[in-house]
Amino acid sequence: MRALVMADLDEGKWPFGAWAVDLIIACGDLYDQAILGAAEACCCRTVLAVRGNHDLPQPFPAPIRDLHGRVAEVLGLRFGGFNGSWKYKRKGHFLYDQDEAACALAALPPVDVLVTHNSPYGIHQRDADIHQGFLGLNQYVERVRPRLLIHGHQHLNRETLVGPTRVVGVFGWRVLEL
């Protein structure tokens, strides 16, 4: 399965072209119009997404499916999601302290692919402030051992293997084989 993965783009529209993909995955801090534009350019009707810490608290427009705290099956793989980032300021949307994130992730059923905005703690983490990862993601990966965890937020493109789990950080966009 091929997926176009997007995260942390400033563009309001999708200017990057088209690829033959089965799925579009949006990891937050994206304009809905950019996600929809990518889906249209790629002729892809299957779009899974989570919100980031800079996104507005509004429902995604169809056909984008909100994965936060949910599980969706696509072509035989189970996808789950968790939005937002570390609570680095008092006010804002999709901000969680470590305990809130850990509690919510403990309730998420096992999945093959976990889509998040933030990274696990200490993995692809840029700093211990705004870009601090979630310990709850480390606990989820240790407990469930998903095949893949895809995240944005850290503004880097990097891959790390954590046990059997491939952790992929995306900044901008990239096509992944799942």
Three-state SS string across the chain, please? CEEEEEECCCCCCCCCCCCCCCEEEECCCCCHHHHHHHHHHCCCCCEEECCCCCCCCCCCCCCEEECECCEEEECCEEEEEECCEECCCCCCCCEECHHHHHHHHHCCCCCCEEEECCCECCCCCCCCCCCCCEHHHHHHHHHHCCCEEEECCCCCCEEEEECCEEEEECCEEEEEEC
Domain of 47 in residue numbering reads as 2-177
Q: Which residues contact 139 (CB under 8 A, 6 or more apart)?
A: 102, 105, 106
Q: What is the pLDDT of residue 19?
A: 94
pTM across the whole model: 0.97
Number of domains, the chain: 1
Short-list 147, 141, 168, CA closest to 156: 168
Q: What is the pLDDT of residue 12?
A: 93
Cβ pair 152, 138 in contact under 8 A: no
CATH number at residue 148: 3.60.21.10
pLDDT tens by residue, the chain, 178 residues:
999 999 999 999 999 999 999 999 999 999 999 999 999 999 999 999 999 999 999 999 999 999 999 999 999 999 999 999 999 898 989 999 999 999 999 999 999 999 999 999 999 998 888 899 999 999 999 999 999 999 999 999 999 999 999 999 999 999 999 9
